[in-house]
Amino acid sequence: MCSAVVKGVHDFVRELLSSVVASVIVWAGELAATALLATPIVLEQLAVRVAALSVRAARMITGLMDAVERFIALLRKMATVYSSLTRVLRSVMSGGVKVAPPIKAVTTKHLWSQGAAKVPTDWGFGTANSKLNGVRWTDPDDPGNGIRIDIAEPSSPWPSQQVEHVVVRSGGNVLGPDGQPVVGAIKQNPQAHIPLEDWINWKDWNRP
């Protein structure tokens, strides 16, 4: 669609310039015929007028061409954006791009509000965790810093996970409830799931 518009504008400008050139040729012929019958004084006055009109006409044509070129450039950018959006939409519709489903707001709305009070403001609004039942934040300047808040898992054998809990990463290390890095993986350190009520009372997001 945008390509057709660009072509239409191009054809319009070409026809317009052709018309202007034709008019100038006719006008020049009439001036030549007048010049053959004119006196030297009239010819001099006529030459001055022709020069002035020629300058004005050249400026008008130049300005028109510049404006049209800018307009065509804008249309081409619009065509590029339109093409990109079309490809993305087609990819989404065909299943080529997977759009993450929305987080379970009813379950985690309060987790967001409590976490946001402790999370640094420049970390953004947070995103859903992999199970879509919690919230996570990541430091945009250091991926090794992050916070994940999960809902309670009553069936968990670990008391710290039976309540709403937090996993804190600082400098690439997972922190325990004392704010010190744990040794080994999270699965080997269930205490790394810090109860949300305890973490809320920390002095800072990574310091009890």
CA atoms 184, 143, 133, 168: torsion sign: positive
Residues of the chain with pLDDT under 70: 1-48, 50-55, 84, 86-110, 132
Give the separation between CA 76 and CA 73, rounded to whole angstroms.
5
pLDDT value at residue 60: 74
| pLDDT for the residue numbered 30 | 59
- pLDDT the model gives residue 9: 58
Delimit the domains of the chain by residue range.
2-94, 105-200
**Residue 156 CB contacts under 8 Å (≥ 6 apart), including other chains:** 162
Q: Which helix (H) or strand (E) holds 170?
A: strand 165-170
Q: What is the pLDDT of residue 195?
A: 93
Whether the model pTM is above 0.75? no
pLDDT on residue 62: 75
